């Protein structure tokens, strides 16, 4: 099932269907070549496919899903169009920072972080002001959904980041519940460093014919 992918040639971002502003911003950020996981995941992700992408820590997985969700996003539509589930608050903060860096050349794109350990009230106020992207932990996102603070009716991209760690932390049921509250006509991108058994089970629950990508550790 797994197709090892190890591109022999360096890949620039210019071959991708990204806006000129985004391409210029990537150059400014010093992102001159795609990493192996970006080169393997971005073309099918930009075609709208569901993905299960596996690559080690530090391989650039965040930009692989962030560029795909930003390409799906209409900045003029002030509604939650993408959601990223992360295992911890630290990782959610890192993902939020990276999405903001990658989105800074676009029109104002608002990202709200929803994690536990923070008062609900401030998060509710942020949601009431409106957001394009939500990044958070499954437990707190489920909490907001149960309280009907989160409208996911315009969502078109759901990302599970560090899915293996979320499973280790016992988030299987929350992830399934959150996914069931998303519109079924959406893209789901799952990223993980390893491939424990629970990932295939998650995929069976709510992914559509996912393409599986494995980038072996570089040496």
Given the rule CB under 6 A, which residues bind ligand ADP? 30-31, 33-35, 38, 55, 57-63
Question: Segment near Mg ion (CB under 5 A), from 53-61, 74-82, 150-158, 206-214?
Answer: 53-61
30 backbone dihedrals φ, ψ, rounded to 5°:
85, 15
Instruction: Kindly tell me the sign of the dihedral angle through the C-alpha atoms of 177, 181, 183, 188.
Output: negative
Cβ closest to Mg ion, residue 145 vs residue 215: 215
Nearest to 34 by CA among 2, 3, 66: 66
Residue 114, classified by CB atoms within 10 Å of its CB into exposed (0-12), middle (13-18) or buried (19+), is buried
Helix (H, G, I), strand (E, B) or coil at 111: strand
- Give the C-alpha separation, 129 to 78, whole Å: 10
Q: Do 50 and 209 meet the contact criterion of CB atoms below 8 Å apart?
A: yes
Q: Which of 51, 61, 135, 190 binds Mg ion (CB under 5 A)?
A: 61
> What is the closest distance, in whole angstroms, from the C-beta atom of residue 117 to ligand ADP in the complex?
22
Partner in contact with 60, chosen from Mg ion, ligand ADP, none, beta carbon below 5 to 8 Å by kind: ligand ADP
> What is the closest distance, in whole angstroms, from the C-beta atom of residue 37 to ligand ADP in the complex?
7
Partner in contact with 117, chosen from ligand ADP, Mg ion, none, beta carbon below 5 to 8 Å by kind: none
Instruction: Read off the tokens for 135.
Output: 């990044």
In the block, residue with structure tokens 């629970």: 198
Cβ closest to ligand ADP, residue 88 vs residue 181: 88
> What is the closest distance, in whole angstroms, from the C-beta atom of residue 22 to ligand ADP in the complex?
13
Cβ closest to Mg ion, residue 59 vs residue 150: 59
- Give the C-alpha separation, 184 to 106, whole Å: 27
- Give the C-alpha separation, 42 to 70, whole Å: 12
Cβ closest to Mg ion, residue 143 vs residue 161: 161
Partner in contact with 59, chosen from Mg ion, ligand ADP, none, beta carbon below 5 to 8 Å by kind: ligand ADP
> What is the closest distance, in whole angstroms, from the C-beta atom of residue 124 to ligand ADP in the complex?
29
Question: Segment near Mg ion (CB under 5 A), from 57-65, 115-123, 170-178, 192-200?
Answer: 57-65
Cβ closest to Mg ion, residue 95 vs residue 150: 95
Name 153's Cβ contacts closer than 8 Å, sequence gap at least 6. Answer: 79, 183
72, HSE (Cβ side, Cα atoms, 13 Å): 30
Binding site for Mg ion (CB under 5 A): 61
């Amino acid at each position: 099932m797994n197709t090892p992918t190890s591109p022999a040639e360096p890949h620039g971002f210019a071959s991708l269907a990204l806006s000129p502003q985004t391409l210029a911003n990537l150059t400014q950020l010093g992102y001159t070549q795609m990493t192996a996981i970006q080169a393997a995941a971005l073309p099918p992700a930009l075609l709208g496919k569901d993905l299960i992408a596996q690559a080690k820590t530090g391989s650039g997985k965040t930009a692989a899903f962030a560029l795909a969700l930003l390409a799906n996003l209409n900045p003029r539509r002030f509604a939650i169009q993408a959601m990223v589930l992360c295992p911890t608050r630290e990782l959610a903060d890192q993902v939020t920072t990276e999405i903001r860096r990658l989105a800074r050349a676009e029109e104002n794109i608002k990202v709200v972080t929803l994690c536990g350990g923070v008062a609900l009230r401030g998060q509710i106020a942020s949601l009431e002001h409106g957001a394009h992207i939500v990044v958070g932990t499954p437990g707190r996102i489920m909490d907001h959904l149960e309280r009907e603070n989160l409208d996911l009716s315009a969502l078109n991209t759901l990302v599970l980041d560090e899915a293996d760690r979320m499973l280790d932390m016992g988030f299987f049921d929350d992830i399934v519940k959150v996914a069931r509250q998303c519109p079924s006509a959406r893209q789901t991108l799952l990223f993980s460093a390893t491939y424990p058994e629970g990932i295939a089970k998650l995929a069976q629950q709510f992914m559509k014919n996912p393409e599986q990508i494995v980038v072996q550790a570089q040496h």
